[in-house]
Amino acid sequence: MSGQIYSQRPDPTRTFFMITSTQNPKIKWVRLIQSQSRARREEQSFAVEGVRLVEEAAASGWPARLVLHTEDLSLRGRQAVERLAAAGAEVEMVSENVLRSASDTQNPQDILAVLEMQTLPLPPRPDFLFIPDQVRDPGNLGTMLRTAAAVGAHGVLLTPGSVDPYSPKVLRSAMGAHFRLPIHALSWEEIRSLVQAAGLQVYLAAAGEGQSCYASDFRAPLALIVGGEAYGASEQARLLTTTPVHIPMPGGMESLNAAIAAAILLFEVVRQRQETPS
């Protein structure tokens, strides 16, 4: 169903009536946004669930198109709804059964918001970029985005073949990183041009290759590439790489979960940059 029904902002002071049918056109539209990457791209919309993520969206001033909530919504949730409604979002009260129908989880948290898709801009001269390469597991990518936001990375560049960063599982795992972090899905040509224009050294996480991450100098402007767990780094990633690095594993394991490896390396960048020079 087309999102054109939301092209005109409603009066947020209007009286709300409860939607009780799972076949309501708006509920069908939300299900489509939740389930299909293509629909999200065409509608330029994505959905977040739960009070915390909706609060994050409201606090960041992120534009919302539709908010669904149950009658039992908490005070925190109602405050977030009021904030989004005041900014022009359409709000509908729904039955628990209807929210469950629209939700991507088995136990929805009384509130769901459909937000407009937008991309935060990269700084003019970024000196700390993170490049997850062909990460196809939603939980891994979401955790990587959350970690990149936590360390203050200037942006994330997603390579071709990566999972949709606006899929429900990625959004849940990222815990609001989308509202704080520039996330750009780019071609390799675009990534190469951006990295070269910024003068970044490119480090690639590669098990058993190059030098230890603890012996590497991450203080200079850099981009860090971490490949997906299933396939590792792509050939394009290796062509862009300046220096391969590895995480020492004295216990003898061959590899780490991709999200854990990314966290270790990203926080090593922060550690080195915060270290007081001798």
Task: Render 95-161 in DSSP notation, one character per residue.
Answer: -HHHHHHH-SSSS--SEEEEEE---PPPPSS-SEEEEEES---HHHHHHHHHHHHHHT-SEEEEPTT
Is 262 found in the same domain as 154?
yes
- pLDDT value at 10 more than 80: no
Is 108 found in the same domain as 17?
yes
Non-local CB neighbours of 167 within 8 Å, separated by 6+ positions: 37, 138
According to DSSP, the residues that pair with 94 across neighbouring strands are 19
CB atoms within 10 A of CB 26: 19
Is 132 found in the same domain as 268?
yes
Q: Is 121 inside a domain boundary? A: no
According to DSSP, the residues that pair with 47 across neighbouring strands are 114
Quote the percentage of the chain above a pLDDT of 90: 86
**CATH number of the domain encompassing residue 72:** 3.30.1330.30
pLDDT of residue 36: 97
Is 173 found in the same domain as 150?
yes
Torsion on CA atoms 40, 155, 264, 141, rounded to nearest 10: 10
Is 132 found in the same domain as 230?
yes
pLDDT of residue 277: 62
Q: Is 123 inside a domain boundary? A: no
Which tens digit of pLDDT belongs to each residue from 206-243? 988 999 999 999 999 999 999 987 777 899 999 999 99
Q: Is 268 inside a domain boundary? A: yes
Is 169 found in the same domain as 102?
no
Q: Is 185 inside a domain boundary? A: yes
Residue predicted with more confidence, 140 or 253: 140
Domain end marker among 68, 87, 116: 116
The pTM assigned to this predicted structure is 0.91
Q: In whole angstroms, give the CA distance from residue 185 to residue 205.
A: 20
Q: Is 82 inside a domain boundary? A: yes
Is 109 found in the same domain as 21?
yes
Domain end marker among 116, 146, 170: 116
Which tens digit of pLDDT belongs to each residue from 169-205? 999 999 999 999 999 999 999 999 999 999 999 999 9
Which tens digit of pLDDT belongs to each residue from 72-114? 999 999 999 999 999 999 999 999 999 999 999 988 999 999 9
Range of the domain at 17: 3-116
Is 189 found in the same domain as 90?
no
Quick one: tokens of 136?
A: 């196809």
Q: Is 122 inside a domain boundary? A: no
- pLDDT value at 117 more than 50: yes
Q: Is 177 inside a domain boundary? A: yes
Is 132 found in the same domain as 112?
no
How distant is the alpha carbon of residue 119 from its chain centre?
Answer: 11
Q: Is the dihedral of CA 150, 155, 160, 163 positive or negative?
A: positive
Quick one: tokens of 89?
A: 């979002």
pLDDT band at 9 (very low <50, low <70, confident <90, very high): very low
Is 139 found in the same domain as 265?
yes
Q: Is 221 inside a domain boundary? A: yes
pLDDT of residue 122: 97
CB atoms within 10 A of CB 118: 10
Count of the separate structural domains present in the chain? 2
pLDDT of residue 252: 81
**CATH number of the domain encompassing residue 266:** 3.40.1280.10
| Average predicted confidence (pLDDT) for the chain | 92
Is 134 found in the same domain as 109?
no
Domain end marker among 64, 89, 116: 116
- pLDDT value at 2 more than 80: no
Is 165 found in the same domain as 248?
yes
* Residue 235, CA distances (Å) to 104, 146, 157, 227, 239 in order: 35, 26, 16, 11, 6
Q: In whole angstroms, give the CA distance from residue 59 to residue 38.
A: 28
Place of tokens 């994330």: 156
